[in-house]
Every structure is written in C-alpha cells, then in structure tokens.
A and B are shown apart, each in its own frame.
Chain A
C-alpha cells in the first residue's frame, strides 16, 4: 500500500532558484488585488464627495464672523462671488442687503443637515478656514488693486452698509479736524465721479476720519477695536494657511487618540510661531565646506586595504539579517534575485529604437558592392536580422560592420578569383 509521505506543500511563489519563471499565482492573484485597491480608492473618493456639501453649509455659520471683518471696507460685488455668507450678515446687522435667497437656504440647512460629532464640526470649520485662504489671496489681490485705484475702490467700499453703520456710530466723536488738502481732494473726487456728489463726499470724509482715529488710537496705545484693525490689516500669504493646517492636524491627532494620552507628533520643522526657521538673521555658526577642501579630499589615493576592511566591518555591522519576510524580499529585489512587480516585460532592455530601425537595414549596405554574390549574401543577412527580435539595433549594426571589415580584408582574394 503506498504510504503518503509528508507533503511539502506549496511554498511561497517566489522561488530561491534565481530567475525562475514567475509561477502561476494562487488566489492572491494580481487582478483580485487590483480590484480590491480600486475599491478602496473608489470608496475614498465617494466619501470625499459626500463630505463637501455639508461642510460648506455647516461652516458657513461659524465662519460668518470672519467674513464680516473682510466685508468692512471691501467691495461687495466681488465679495458676493467669493463668499456666500451675506445672509448671516444681514441677520447680524438688521439690515437686509442684497442677500441671495440661495445662501439663506444654505445657512438654514446647516443646523439641520448634520448630526455630526463635535469633532467633525470643528474639522469642518477648520477645513473651511483653509477654503478661506483662497478668498484671502483674492482679497490681497484686491488690496493691491485698491492701492492702484484708490478712489474707485473707496467709492465702492463705502456703498456697503457696514461702513455707513460705523460711520453713524462714530459720527459724534470728531475730536480732530481733517486736513484741508484731504478735504479738498475729497470734494474734487466727488465732483469727478458720476454719483451724487454730497453722498460721496460725506462717505469719503467718514472713511478718512476713521482712518485718522485708528492711527490716533494706535499711537496712544489704547484699547484696540479688533474689527477696525483687522479690516485694514494686510493679509499675509502663508501663515493663516499654515496655522489652519497645523491646528487642524493638531486637533485631528489629539481627537483621534482620545483613549490614549500620547502627545501628537511634532510636525515638520515649521514652528507654530509666525516666524519660520528660514527667516531671520544668519548666525554664521556653521560654515559651508569650501570647494577647495572638497577637491583636496577627492585627490586622496585609492583606499588602502585597511580602509576596505573598515568599510567591510561597517557593512557587516549595519547590514543586519532581515527581520521578516518583507525585508528579505526587499533585499532580494535589490540584489536582483527577485523581479520587480508588476512584471515589466522589458526590464533590463533599454532598446529605444523604433521598429523601422530594426527592419529597414538596407541603409547599412551602402559600402557593399551593388552586385554579385556578396551583395546577395548580405541581403540574406539583413533579412535574417530584421526578423530577429532578440537583438538590439546596435548589435545588428555590429554584425553588418564585421562583415564589411571581413570582406574588405578578403578583397585581394576575391580579386584573384
């Protein structure tokens, strides 16, 4: 009775036999794996798309306050395109401006829509803060625009009700009279523009007065009205984005480790202050290696035996044996024992030549006689080479050139015949 000896079973498909053909894979086949990967990607994409609409609506409410500050003194028309929080503004200010109906709906949807965790809400807010960056950039552009066209900008800015509201509040306080020249300029501008002269004049004057007050307050060092300050603050390009990103990362990390009390990892070299590592004065503590010393090092003679031995020692210490199968496979791939996946049929083959260079080799037959047995022979050679897919174009040309040399050497013989 035949006894069944212990089966060896199927080991891993990667053999130790060097470049043995990649045997048929099992159930962990590539198509299945690819499908799985695509599925994950698809799910992620779907999740992303699903997230966006609620975030927009939810973040609108909280971000409204920030929007307010930017509204003050900024052209409303452009702002409307960028931001959809005018509805919230109106509720705050008690003045119904041109609030598009759609935005109100969006704002109202926000409390209803998401039964989200506070964490997600926060993340959404901070995510929106990132969105605001683009609008901030546009604001910066607008501001540069404003510097060029000051008068027209002021004109449009003063149309906003917020400024008039502020003007009404500060109407009573007018300690310092404005500069005469400025007043004259204001009147000249007002007259030049097509709108109602008096209104424009008054609005421009109010703007000037506000500006003066702010400067006075700053000089005195009094209580700073943040609204005014931020409305005229210049927008730094990167720091808010960075801050937002870092804060969001911080919060997300902290939130994710609710059970554990591990500190969130320090992010890259960016500090959380406004300054980065690359700004500031150079301390000149570390000096760059001058190119002279580098060249001097290179001119040292070839390494001695002791250097080689030392290098071998270091290699022996550092190259520890692989801890697991993955590291082993990595090592094998580096050595060339294991092929790289997905299999590239042209791995190691660097033939960049087109097909016509392989097939049409008659141009290399220029130096041969045009008639006779040799030509016949060479044409057969070319026919064979053109059908050979295993040689590179260089090798084929080398063959033809060898024949050419050979027949040149044998010319005397041939002439005797």
Chain B
C-alpha cells in the first residue's frame, strides 16, 4: 500500500519542465499532509458536478421527500475526500495550514521573507 502510494507520489511529483529554467523547481511535496490535500482537491474536482446536482435535489421543497432521501444516500456513498469542505488552503512552500494568505498561497513567514528580499512584485513596506 505504502509502496503504491509512493509510486503514485513520484509519478505525480515528477514535473519535467521543458526548458532549463532558473526558477525554483519543486520536484516533491513538502509533506504527506500536503499530498493528501492534493488528492482531496483532485477528487473534489472530479465529483464536483455530481455533488452539485444531487445537492440540488436534496435542498428542495418541491420534490417529494422520498426522492430526497434517496439522494441523501447517494451522496453519502460518494468518496469522503470528494467533498470540498475537506480541502485546506495550505502554504504552497511550507505546507503550513494556518496563516496563509489566499492571494499568494503563502504562509505569513515565507511571504515576509520574500517581501524583504524584494521578490514579491508590487509589495512595499507599509509606512503611513
């Protein structure tokens, strides 16, 4: 099981960039939690439409209740990781779950580090 997961990880993580770039190249996930988050995101994307439609049947006052109960059971049968609520916006570089700014997808520490080195475009020290 672990080996299969590892293999899946390596395949997923191997990003062969076509050109020799001078950017930061990340050929691995920072930790397993980040990996799990990635899996959840993929599943959520796959099942998003289905979930939307079944929920439209469920959250209804027009359709008969029996139909809605059936729909409840159907949505419970979907994989648990397919629900978007389980996704956590982690820091992209450090996998930190808290203190992450959505616009940059970075945790506050990394953000500050880059901003201090003038590597964040359009970011300036506030002074007023």
- Interfacial residues, chain A to chain B (CB-CB below 8 A): 4-5, 7-17, 20, 23, 315-316, 319, 321, 331, 373-374, 376-377, 380-381, 398-399, 402-403, 406, 410, 413-414, 417
Q: Which residue of A lies closest to B19 (CB)?
A: A319
Whether A319 touches B18, Cβ cut-off 8 Å, given contacts A11-B121, A15-B121, A17-B121, is yes
Question: Total contacts A to B, CB within 8 angstroms?
Answer: 74
Q: Which residue of B lies closest to A384 (CB)?
A: B56
Residue from B20, B53, B66, B123 in contact with A413 in the complex, judged by beta carbons closer than 8 Å: B66
Q: Would you mind naming 21 contact pairs between A and B with Cβ atoms under 8 Å apart?
A: A4-B127, A7-B125, A8-B117, A8-B120, A10-B122, A10-B124, A11-B118, A16-B121, A20-B103, A23-B122, A321-B19, A321-B21, A331-B19, A373-B64, A374-B63, A376-B62, A398-B49, A399-B53, A402-B49, A414-B67, A417-B64
Q: Note all chain B residues with C-beta closer than 8 A to A399.
A: 49, 53
A10–B115 Cα gap in the complex (Å)?
A: 11
Residue from A10, A20, A377 in contact with B63 in the complex, judged by beta carbons closer than 8 Å: A377
Q: Note all chain B residues with C-beta closer than 8 A to A381.
A: 56
Ranked 4 nearest A-B pairs via Cβ = A8-B118, A15-B121, A319-B19, A11-B121
Are B20's CB and A373's CB within 8 A? no
Within 8 A of A (CB), among B42-72: 49, 53, 56-57, 60, 62-64, 66-67, 70
Secondary structure dominating the interface of B: loop
Q: Which of the listed residues A316, A321, A398, A406 has the most CB atoms from chain B within 10 Å of its own CB?
A: A406
Residue from A14, A377, A413 in contact with B60 in the complex, judged by beta carbons closer than 8 Å: A377
Cβ contacts B94-128/A at 8 Å (1 or 0 each) = 00000000011000000000011110111111010
Whether A11 touches B63, Cβ cut-off 8 Å, given contacts A321-B20, A402-B53, A406-B53, is no
Q: Which residue of B lies closest to A320 (CB)?
A: B20
Starting from the known contacts A8-B120, A11-B122, 5 additional A-B residue pairs (CB-CB under 8 Å) come to: A23-B121, A23-B122, A374-B63, A377-B57, A402-B53
A398–B123 Cα gap in the complex (Å)?
A: 43
A218–B3 Cα gap in the complex (Å)?
A: 96
Q: Which of the listed residues B19, B49, B70 has the most CB atoms from chain A within 10 Å of its own CB?
A: B19
Are A373's CB and B121's CB within 8 A? no
A315–B67 Cα gap in the complex (Å)?
A: 58
Count of B interface residues, CB-CB < 8 Å: 30
Q: Note all chain B residues with C-beta closer than 8 A to A10.
A: 122, 124
A250–B104 Cα gap in the complex (Å)?
A: 57
Are A12's CB and B121's CB within 8 A? yes
Whether A315 touches B18, Cβ cut-off 8 Å, given contacts A7-B124, A377-B63, A403-B53, is yes
Are B125's CB and A5's CB within 8 A? yes
Q: Note all chain A residues with C-beta closer than 8 A to B117.
A: 8
Residue from B18, B63, B121 in contact with A13 in the complex, judged by beta carbons closer than 8 Å: B121
Residue from A8, A12, A403 in contact with B125 in the complex, judged by beta carbons closer than 8 Å: A8
Residue from B62, B104, B115 in contact with A380 in the complex, judged by beta carbons closer than 8 Å: B62
Residue from B121, B123, B127 in contact with A14 in the complex, judged by beta carbons closer than 8 Å: B121
A182–B70 Cα gap in the complex (Å)?
A: 109
Chain A nearest CB, measured from B112 CB (Å)? 12
Whether A373 touches B66, Cβ cut-off 8 Å, given contacts A15-B122, A17-B104, is no
Q: Note all chain A residues with C-beta closer than 8 A to B115.
A: 8
Q: Note all chain B residues with C-beta closer than 8 A to A11.
A: 118, 121-122
Chain B nearest CB, measured from A328 CB (Å)? 9
A160–B69 Cα gap in the complex (Å)?
A: 105
A362–B116 Cα gap in the complex (Å)?
A: 57
